């Protein structure tokens, strides 16, 4: 899709080689050998598959780690006794409790 002199020359070369009956894989291999893998419009399927698998493993591993931490915190919170109240009750607290019971 690029419109430089080199890209136009490469297109003409590819069209001529295909018309001469040369296999497209051989043409591609030759161009990659000359210009490097960045000449391809898309990376090889294996490279893309490897990247996809790596990203999926990272996401699954991160999710498993977060779930593990969440369950550990929940389990640890369930084992600790509730903190003792440091505030002493007085007559006002007793009156509040009595009024709340009367509402039920």
Give the CA angle between residues 10, 15, 45 to the nearest 5°. 75
For the chain of 104 residues, list the mean pLDDT of each consecutive stretch of 10: 83 94 92 87 72 92 95 80 69 91 88
| Structural tokens at position 94 | 């007793």
CA 98 to chain centre: 56
Domain spans in the chain, listed from the N-terminal domain onward: 1-41, 42-77
Q: Where are the alpha helices (DSSP H) in 1-104?
A: 5-19, 24-35, 45-79, 91-103
Per-residue pLDDT at 63: 96
Exposure class string for 31-60: b at 16+ Cβ within 10 A, else e: beeeeeeeeeeeeeeeeeeeeeeeeeeeee
């Amino acid at each position: 899709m690029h419109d430089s002199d080199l890209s136009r020359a490469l297109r003409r070369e590819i069209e001529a080689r295909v018309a001469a009956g040369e296999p497209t894989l051989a043409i591609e291999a030759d161009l990659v050998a000359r210009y490097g893998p960045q000449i391809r419009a898309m990376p090889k399927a294996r490279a893309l598959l490897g990247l996809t698998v790596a990203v999926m493993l990272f996401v699954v591993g991160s999710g498993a780690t977060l779930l593990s931490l969440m369950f550990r915190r929940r389990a640890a919170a369930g084992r600790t006794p509730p903190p003792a109240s440091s505030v002493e009750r007085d007559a006002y607290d007793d009156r509040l409790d009595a009024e709340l019971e009367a509402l039920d």
